[in-house]
């Protein structure tokens, strides 16, 4: 049995939540390995919608263990609030079904403040973050001044760590014309939530190693998408963590040999939230059609997503940077009813044909998409559960996507309902 990594192959919002939930029935453990509560997954189970931000998708399934790995930055108050929201929907989260890495860094109110100051400033580059403090928390982690989950277990030593952290942040706040932070207030912020978080704390790398040795199947759940990767994405309009599949090992404490299959979740068209390049973006009638039919609003922020045609160049590139073995193609039904459908198959840059997205910011903004046009289909694909249920032109579209990106479709999703899924290849059996 292969352990499976699920990553987004575009700019996020590809429908990972449903696919992870669908796969979690076959897994024993579901692991989040990067990002924070800026991620958003909507699961629809028996007509009930569950909106998750920080918690692994597996927590809504009885008998599954959800794990928040060391690569995640954890807002303890957001965690407690999310657990409370699920409890109101009848889902109980306890240490029996959730563990948090003791060495995961915490997101604090000062991180949210700094994120907001930067995004609302009249100077500098606006990235289009969720203002939830993700980036500043990762900065402190790399700067070796972060407060981590394990620090909540030793409150008497917390003051020295707070002083070290505030030596940096208060200097930044002075430069931004903001009031300095009182160390006592930050201590109380942490102490007030410690007893609610500590029961979930664990040595995750040991837990996962033991699970592997006992033959347990592990599903690694990525957040955002590969094009938002801090190294391989559309920099600087990216998130603050590595979102490619290789981070599954680093962000959970397992070796790269623990990964057997990488599944790239891929929307049948393209969307992104926030600023940055988007070669195949459609701002007119087509973009409005895709956004309306696809309900393209952020799970976390409610922001309207930018929409465009499927970009095979980008997906082909992320398949390589993430080592994707197969894709789960989602939201095919959104394309129902279109007379014609376009696919971006290449770019031109200053009149020269290229088959990849350049790394330079100016070049990314300057590429011009080259399209192929395919015949659309009038029949509905919504709710299809076998190839025989699909219109012939829809099948042609899917097969052409496979050819262009160089990877097979392992799963095909035809609605938000988990059972409206066509299984071609079970990643756990690969």
Q: What are the φ and ψ backbone dihedral angles of 354, each rounded to 5 degrees?
A: -135, 155
Q: Is 341 helix (H, G, I), strand (E, B) or coil?
A: strand
Q: What burial letters (b/e) apply to 39-50, b meaning 16+ CB within 10 Å?
A: bbbbbbbeeeeb
25: annotated binding-site residue? no
Q: Is 414 annotated as a binding residue?
A: yes
Q: Which two tokens stand for residue 41?
A: 């997954």
131 is in an annotated binding site: no
* Beta-carbon contacts of residue 423 (< 8 Å; ≥ 6 apart): 410, 411
Is 18 assigned to a binding site?
yes
Distance in angstroms (rounded) separating the CA atoms of residues 257 and 68: 20
Report whether 17 belongs to an annotated binding site.
yes
| Residue 303 is labelled as binding a ligand | yes
Which residue reads 């410690």 in tokens?
194
- 182 assigned to active site: no
- CA 302, CA 273: separation in Å to the nearest integer? 10
Give the whole-angstrom CA distance, residue 141 versus residue 103: 10
**Any known ligand binding at 333?**
yes
Consult the annotation and say whether 64 binds a ligand.
no
User: Annotated binding residue at 161?
Assistant: no
239 labeled binding residue: yes
Distance, in Å, from the CA atom of 269 to the CA atom of 97, rounded to the nearest integer, reads: 35
Give me the catalytic one of 37, 111, 131, 141: 141
Rounded CA-CA distance 138/144 in Å is 10
> Is 326 a known ligand-binding residue?
no
Q: Assess contact for 220 and 208: CB atoms under 8 A.
A: no
Q: What are the tokens at 166?
A: 């505030």
Decide if 267 is catalytic.
Answer: no
Residue 295 designated active-site = no
344 contacts 371 by C-beta, under 8 angstroms: yes
14 annotated to bind ligand: yes
Is the bond preceding residue 236 a cis peptide, omega within 30 degrees? Answer: yes
Q: How far is CA 119 from CA 115, 122, 167, 192, in A?
A: 6, 8, 22, 29
Candidates 260, 261, 231; CA nearest to 244 is: 231
Instruction: Give first-to-last CA distance, the chain, whole Å.
Output: 7
Question: Is 130 known as a binding-site position?
Answer: yes
Confirm if 16 and 265 have CB atoms less than 8 A apart.
yes
Q: How far is CA 339 from CA 270, 335, 373, 375, 384, in A?
A: 18, 10, 10, 6, 20
Select which of 13, 21, 113, 202 is catalytic. 13
Please tell me whether 401 is known to bind a ligand.
no
Query: Is 42 assigned to a binding site?
Result: yes
Query: Is residue 399 annotated as involved in ligand binding?
Result: no
| Other C-beta atoms lying within 10 Å of the C-beta of residue 52 | 28
13 annotated to bind ligand: yes
Catalytic residue among 37, 41, 267, 342: 41
Is 305 annotated as belonging to a binding site? yes
299 is in an annotated binding site: yes
Q: What are phi and psi of 186, to 5 degrees?
A: -70, -40
Q: Which residues are annotated as a binding site for substrate?
A: 299-305
Q: Which residues are annotated as a binding site for GTP?
A: 12-18, 40-42, 305, 331-333, 413-415
Which residues are identified as catalytic? 13, 41, 141
Q: Which residues are annotated as a binding site for IMP?
A: 13-16, 38-41, 130, 144, 224, 239, 303
Q: Which residues are annotated as a binding site for Mg(2+)?
A: 13, 40
Q: Which residues are annotated as a binding site?
A: 12-18, 38-42, 130, 144, 224, 239, 299-305, 331-333, 413-415
């Amino acid at each position: 049995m292969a352990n499976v990594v699920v990553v987004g192959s575009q700019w996020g919002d590809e429908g990972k939540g449903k696919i992870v939930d669908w796969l979690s029935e076959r897994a024993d453990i579901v692991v989040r390995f990067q990002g924070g509560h800026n991620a958003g997954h909507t699961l629809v189970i028996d007509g009930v919608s569950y909106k998750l931000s920080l918690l692994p998708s597996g927590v809504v399934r009885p008998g599954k263990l959800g794990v928040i790995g060391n690569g995640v930055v954890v807002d303890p108050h957001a965690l407690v609030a999310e657990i409370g929201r699920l409890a109101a929907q009848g889902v109980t989260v306890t240490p029996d079904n959730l563990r948090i890495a003791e060495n995961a860094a915490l997101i604090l109110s000062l991180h949210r403040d700094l994120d907001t100051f930067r995004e609302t400033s009249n100077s500098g580059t606006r990235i289009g973050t969720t203002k939830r403090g993700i980036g500043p928390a990762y900065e402190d982690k790399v700067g070796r001044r972060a407060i981590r989950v394990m620090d909540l277990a030793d409150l008497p030593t917390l003051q020295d760590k707070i002083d070290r952290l505030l030596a940096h942040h208060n200097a930044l706040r002075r430069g931004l014309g903001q009031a300095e932070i009182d160390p006592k207030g930050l201590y109380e912020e942490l102490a007030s939530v410690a007893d609610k978080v500590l029961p979930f704390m664990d040595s995750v790398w040991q837990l996962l190693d033991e699970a592997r040795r006992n033959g347990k199947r592990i599903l690694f759940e990525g957040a955002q998408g590969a094009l938002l990767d801090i190294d391989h994405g559309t920099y600087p309009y990216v998130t603050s963590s590595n979102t490619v599949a290789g981070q599954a090992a680093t962000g959970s404490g397992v070796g790269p040999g623990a990964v057997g299959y990488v599944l790239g979740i891929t929307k049948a068209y393209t969307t992104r939230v926030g600023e940055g390049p988007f070669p195949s973006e459609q701002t007119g009638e087509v973009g409005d059609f895709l956004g309306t039919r696809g309900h393209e609003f952020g799970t976390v922020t409610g922001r309207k997503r930018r929409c465009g045609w499927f970009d095979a160049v980008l997906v082909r590139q992320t398949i390589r940077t993430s080592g994707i073995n197969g894709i789960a193609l989602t939201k095919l039904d959104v394309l129902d009813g279109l007379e014609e459908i376009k696919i971006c198959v290449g770019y031109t840059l200053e009149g020269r044909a290229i088959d990849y997205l350049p790394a330079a910011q100016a070049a990314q903004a300057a590429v011009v998409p080259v399209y192929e046009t395919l015949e659309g289909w009038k029949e509905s694909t919504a709710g299809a559960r076998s190839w025989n249920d699909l219109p012939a032109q829809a099948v042609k579209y899917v097969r052409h996507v496979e050819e262009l990106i160089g990877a097979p479709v392992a799963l095909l999703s035809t609605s938000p309902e988990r059972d409206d899924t066509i299984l071609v290849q079970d990643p756990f059996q690969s």
